[in-house]
Structure 1
């Protein structure tokens, strides 16, 4: 299935492993590595250290993106619409982090309703984020490779992008229905509570595994292949161009895709390997299960980190976006007019090209 922030199920998994050893080899003596304490201690230390930092940076950056589009930057192209929706999706995910940090320290104390919300918000963001990146890739392909067609649909591009965005959110919601329906909190024998997906008895392991594989393919590999094809054609087109400035126009979007793959792919691979182990009916040893659970914790938080990197990419790569941020700060009187004027003069003096001016179709023509 798609990534899930609370899918680790470490305590429950280790409880099952403990039962296995109690009834077979150890006759009541539970090996220390099977009790899940080491994994829970790692999670209790690791997540509260990483997640607050990701939350602060990500919420600040993505909020700044939205404020810039609201107050200083005009929305003129399909890419603008997709970037706004991408920032919204990242914010929705980041808002779950405070709950997850508390969960790492105290267990799940928010009830089954909030458990469904946390699972659902993460899953919806996973699918919508990747689909919006796919939409951006297709849009750039049309603008750069199919320039004549892009010019013809320019007048209705905003309408098309809004319609596509609605479709993306609906599809993401439908793909996240298993998380929204079957997620609930569960009491463990030690008195603690966890938040996990609990399927009814009539849903067999084969059905769940098939669902997992389907969502992995649709939620990552197929959209990723679309992006690879689009950008391969775009790169080939730009290489035949005489203007090297056009290469810089791709840096922002290419960076967004690469960051997504680098930070999201590890969790997808871990989930895929876990599904493959289930299909092969492989019995995990205690040490293997502990390594798997720790890998899920690390790669899941790595996926969270991606959400705070998109605004940083805009700020450090996109010159036009930096100008928009400074204009926003000037309008809110966070910086003086003189400082803003000095920055504008420096930009003109260095003749810095606009790396990603999404408001202009002629940039790629």
Structure 2
């Protein structure tokens, strides 16, 4: 287990595939995955695929049917693109599940690059879209009057920003797409779709890969930290516990993304730094990769819940969809919602992070908010 690897074998640039073959042959005992690990990850992939396909498809369908893509605020634009990004990644999960069960990549180089590339695009676009949402919340809450005057211009800018997010995400994903390929294992056990940048490429390519990962992860995080920190200070200057409740919700949205995504991103950065020196380290990295990758893919089915299902408008759109489809559960959902609301008259209305328009105007007694006709993103915050 602790036998050092002969790194000179697979660092030889004159041999294209010898490094991967030697690595798997020498560490066959430490890198072999137990059956229960494969079954566990496959079950995770199946659950994530079903929930992610259903959740993200519902988000896109409700936008298409009931909002006709006439998006009325910046958050609507970014949530729609976020659902599209997650759905693209969800569609690659069957390939990942098959790779786990077969212990071999059987889908060729094109799908290998597509799967790795879509994952990278999803990660970067998710972070950048969350950063855009934080900027939107910052402008609407901290600069409410200016946001009202520039509402139409901001909506146009948000659409351009969403297109820019896709372009930047694709650019940051280029190292993943370029250096991902399929290599045969030396033990005859099949092939593997991996990114082998640490073996074949120079330190300049490694620095470019690290730079893309650090830029795509740290810059959006710093933007979210500034925006939500400023929003928190602004909300705490007002009155009412509901402001703190909404602040906790916004913090949870960012924390969930970081907790599920950061471990896998860190592991990929470590792999890009260099190969393991012993078979024991190789086995530990491989096990950690299986675990953290499962967490990272789970985020795709949580996004609809965190960013859309808590919104009143989305729930109403889903009820309308069920009603139009003649679903019998629509009557039960409606009656259950009415009984809950009538049985708890003192509870505050649910938080709506996707609500863009409201008939409730900000409280005139609170100097933090200026009364105007613009839609306030958090209607419950305007109440004392």
| TM band (smaller chain) | 0.7 to 0.9
Match of residue 23 from structure 1: none
Superposition map of 1:1-365 within 5 A? 15-17=21-23, 34-39=28-33, 41=35, 44-73=38-67, 75-106=71-102, 107-191=104-188, 192-198=190-196, 203-204=201-202, 206-250=203-247, 253-275=250-272, 278=274, 284-314=277-307, 317-335=310-328, 338-339=331-332, 342=335, 345-346=338-339, 349=342, 350=345, 352-356=348-352, 357-360=354-357, 361-364=375-378
Separation in 1 of the partners of 2:40 and 2:119?
19
1:61–1:308 Cα contact (<8 Å) kept: yes
Shift of 1:243: 3.9
> Is the Cα–Cα contact under 8 Å of residues 251 and 355 in structure 1 kept in the other structure?
no
Contact 2:72/2:356 (<8 A) preserved: yes
Return closer, same or farther for 1:248/1:283 CA change in 2, 3 Å cut-off: closer
Indicate if the aligned counterparts of 1:250 and 1:355 stay in contact, CA closer than 8 A: no
Shift of 1:343: 5.3
- Asked whether the 8 Å contact 1:120–1:179 carries over to 2, the reply is yes
Whether contact under 8 Å (2:138, 2:227) holds in the other structure is: yes
Cα distance in structure 2, aligned partners of 1:222 and 1:250: 21
Whether the 8 Å CA contact 2:198–2:271 is kept in 1: the answer is: no
Q: Shift of residue 346 of structure 1?
A: 4.6
- Preserved contact between residue 116 and residue 180 of structure 1 (Cα < 8 Å): yes
Deviations 1:281-318 (A, max 9, x none): x8622212211111111101100001101222357633
Tell whether the 8 Å contact from 1:58 to 1:91 is kept in structure 2 after alignment: yes
TM-score (norm 1): 0.82
Asked if 1 retains the 8 angstrom alpha-carbon contact of 2:322 and 2:330, the reply is no
Q: How far apart, CA to CA, are the structure 2 residues paired with 1:362 and 1:245?
A: 15
Are the structure 2 counterparts of residues 39 and 336 from structure 1 closer, same or farther at C-alpha, using a change threshold of 3 Å? closer
CA deviation after TM superposition for structure 1 residue 319, in Å: 3.7
**Structure 2: 5+ residue stretches without partners:** 1-16, 358-374
C-alpha change, 1:337 and 1:53, in structure 2 (3 Å) is: closer
Equivalent position SS for 1:194: strand
**Residue deviations 1:146-180, cap 9 Å, x none?**
11221122122321111001110011111112222
8 Å Cα contact 2:21/2:187 also seen in 1: no
Structure with the larger RCO, 1 or 2 (CA within 8 Å, 6+ apart): 1
Q: State the Cα distance separating 1:13 from its structure 2 match.
A: 7.6
Q: Aligned equivalents of 1:81 and 1:177: distance in 2?
A: 25
Provide TM-score, normalisation by structure 2: 0.78
Deviation at 1:39, TM superposition (A): 3.3
Deviation at 1:36, TM superposition (A): 4.3
SS in 2 for 1:39: coil
Alignment RMSD, CA only? 2.9
Gaps of 5+ in 1: 1-10, 20-29
Equivalent position of 1:8 in the other structure: none
- CA–CA separation in structure 2 for the residues paired with 1:176 and 1:112: 16
Following superposition, the deviation at residue 348 of structure 1 comes to 6.0
The alpha-carbon deviation at position 16 of structure 1 amounts to: 3.7
How far apart, CA to CA, are the structure 1 residues paired with 2:160 and 2:236?
33
Distance across 2 between alignment mates of 1:96 and 1:178 = 19
Q: Do the aligned partners of residues 117 and 18 (structure 1) sit closer, same or farther apart at CA in structure 2, a change above 3 Å counting?
A: closer
TM-aligned CA deviation for residue 17 of structure 1: 4.4
Give a deviation string over 1:304-356, Cα, whole Å, max 9, x none.
Answer: 00110122235763344323322221122214775465356457643742412
- Helix, strand or coil for the counterpart of 1:362? coil
Cα distance change on mapping 1:337 and 1:207 into 2, 3 Å: closer
Measured against aligned partners, the alpha-carbon deviations of 1:226-265 in whole angstroms (never above 9, x if no partner) come to: 1111111111111111144344445554332121011001
